[in-house]
Amino acid sequence: MNKDERRVVSPWNIANVLTVARLALVPFFVVCLFLPGTGWRLAALGVFAVASITDHLDGELARRYGLITDFGKIADPIADKALTGAALVSLSLLGELGWWVTIVILGRELGITLLRLGLLRHAVIPASYGGKVKTVLQIAAIVLYILPGVPDVARWVVMGAALVVTVGTGADYVIRAIKLRSLAKRVRGE
């Protein structure tokens, strides 16, 4: 074991603080989105953009400075889901996005979160590369829905891609979880 592996990383590091800050921005984003007028819409877009940038930043800082913690591996996807979930539900409540899209995406996100938490005693399942691509696509689609005047076809193409990757990566996590569980059982000799 080298010095770095022995080093204990506090969960209260800059990467995790950014993750928690993203979570804290969610209510401000929702309030701005529901307030009438283009000014508030653009404010909602600004808050959403800042929160989304922290998604990229926290992972980058954690990797670069060795700040990867189990707390971060669990909290980062939860903060992402809270932000995108709040945006999707709000857009559906405003009548700007079909409820079925929100339900499919939230169903996948909730299911994978429960799967992650359920497997915690065996291992922490971090976000996969596909999961990160999925989040970027969801964020891009949501931005197109929030921005006034974007053609419907552009919104649909990006949201369609987000839906496909969301469901596909969800299935991939389920397969990984099944393999992990049977491996853990074999190790315990069950």
Ligand X SMILES: O=P(O)(O)OC[C@H](O)CO
Looking at 29, 32, 67, 134, which residue binds ligand X (CB under 6 A)?
134
Interface region with ligand X, contact rule CB under 6 A, candidates 17-25, 27-35, 129-137, 142-150: 129-137
Q: Which two tokens stand for residue 18?
A: 């950014």
Backbone torsions φ then ψ of 68, nearest 5 degrees: -75, 125
Backbone torsions φ then ψ of 33, nearest 5 degrees: -65, -35
Cβ at position 59, least distance to ligand X in Å: 6
Q: Is 22 in the site for ligand X (CB under 6 A)?
A: no
Q: Is 58 in the site for ligand X (CB under 6 A)?
A: no
128 versus 185: smaller Cβ distance to ligand X:
128
Looking at 76, 86, 97, 102, which residue binds ligand X (CB under 6 A)?
76
Q: Is 16 in the site for ligand X (CB under 6 A)?
A: no
Looking at 16, 19, 54, 169, which residue binds ligand X (CB under 6 A)?
169
CA distance 25 to 104: 24
Hey, how many other C-beta atoms are within 10 angstroms of the C-beta on 78? Answer: 17
Side chain identity, residue 71: F
Residue ranges of alpha helices (H) inside the chain are: 3-6, 14-34, 38-64, 70-93, 99-118, 129-146, 152-188
# residues contacting ligand X (CB under 6 A):
12
Which positions lie near ligand X, rule CB under 6 A?
55, 76-77, 80, 112, 127-128, 131-132, 134-135, 169
